[in-house]
Structure 1
Amino acid sequence: MIKFQLLLWALGLLMKKAARKNPDFRKQLDGKDFAFQLQTEDGGIVRHYVIANNSVSSKRKAHKNPAFTISFKNADTGLRILTSKDKNAFMKGIQEKDIKIAGDLSLVMWFQGVSKYLKPKKK
């Protein structure tokens, strides 16, 4: 459970850093102004991220009006899927009902697209 919370916190840090240092990621933020959240299905663990003014911020609480929410069956499932090396882990999670998505699917696709900028660079 703690590992999943740490992962969600670290995701916020990685997005903040990418917004400052990665021109390709910055381009993806252009004109975007919305919030989204990642959480466990029961809402026991929740973190929201705000994309605005070409920057990213995050808080450890639910957002009043997220553009989309990705809910994982539980913390272990969220950790497994978000850290998987399998490119299809997310889609499998949706098919197996380990992930539920609510809200704007085009922004979910945007998030999946920008996640490639958040992986550590290979040496």
Structure 2
Amino acid sequence: MKFRFLLWMLGRLMAKASRTNPEFQQQLAGKDLVFQLHTLDGKMARHFIVKDQRIVSKRGVASAPAFALGFKDATYGFATMTAKNKQLAFMQGIQNKEIQIQGNPALVMWFQGLMKYLMPKKKSAAKKAA
């Protein structure tokens, strides 16, 4: 259930960022693709449609995603996507075959780069002192 909510929330955050964040929109420029996050056991899948500098997410499996990230199960997917060091967690998961990449690996790197735009902005030290 946590993983399902995480994927849904990820879709909501990316959709909002695609409407309101110019830096995020710049990362979407020229992209027209579908990607998918799912569990390898087939119990859960969500796909994301990138078109015209916007992202829309839908539940279920996409017919022909440009890339797909498959996690061994929902618990593992949630743990990986919420890990403190996500890059290390992903690399270990790929090495251990607990995460499988289908499609273009360069697009997976692009997707991971998008995540930094979804994190809430930290208040600067100057604002905290005021």
TM-score, length basis structure 2? 0.90
Aligned to 1:51: 50
Shift of 1:120: 2.3
1:122 and 1:96 map into 2 onto residues whose CA distance is 34
CA distance in structure 1 between the aligned counterparts of 2:121 and 2:60, rounded to whole angstroms:
30
Q: Corresponding residue for 2:104?
A: 104
Amino acid at match of 1:99: I
Please give the residue correspondences for 1:35-46 in structure 2 after superposition, counting only pairs within 5 Å.
35-46=34-45
* Aligned twin of 1:90: 90
CA distance in 2, matches of 1:43, 1:54: 29
For residue 114 of structure 1, what is the aligned residue in structure 2? 114
Q: Which runs of 4+ in 1 moved over 4 A?
A: none
Match of 2:47, SS? Answer: strand
Residue segments in structure 1 that go unaligned for 5+ positions in a row: none
How far residue 109 of structure 1 moved from its aligned partner, in angstroms, is 1.0
- Where 2:12 maps in the other structure, the secondary structure is helix
Superposition RMSD on alpha carbons, in Å?
0.9
Normalised TM-score (structure 1): 0.95
Q: Report % sequence identity.
A: 52
Deviation at residue 121 of structure 1 after TM alignment = 2.3
Aligned length: 122
1: distance between equivalents of 2:105 and 2:25?
Answer: 21
Q: Alignment partner of 1:88: what SS?
A: helix
Can you give the 5+ residue segments of structure 2 that lack an aligned partner in the other structure?
Answer: 124-130
Q: Report the Cα distance in structure 2 between the residues aligned to 1:36 and 1:80, rounded to whole angstroms.
A: 20
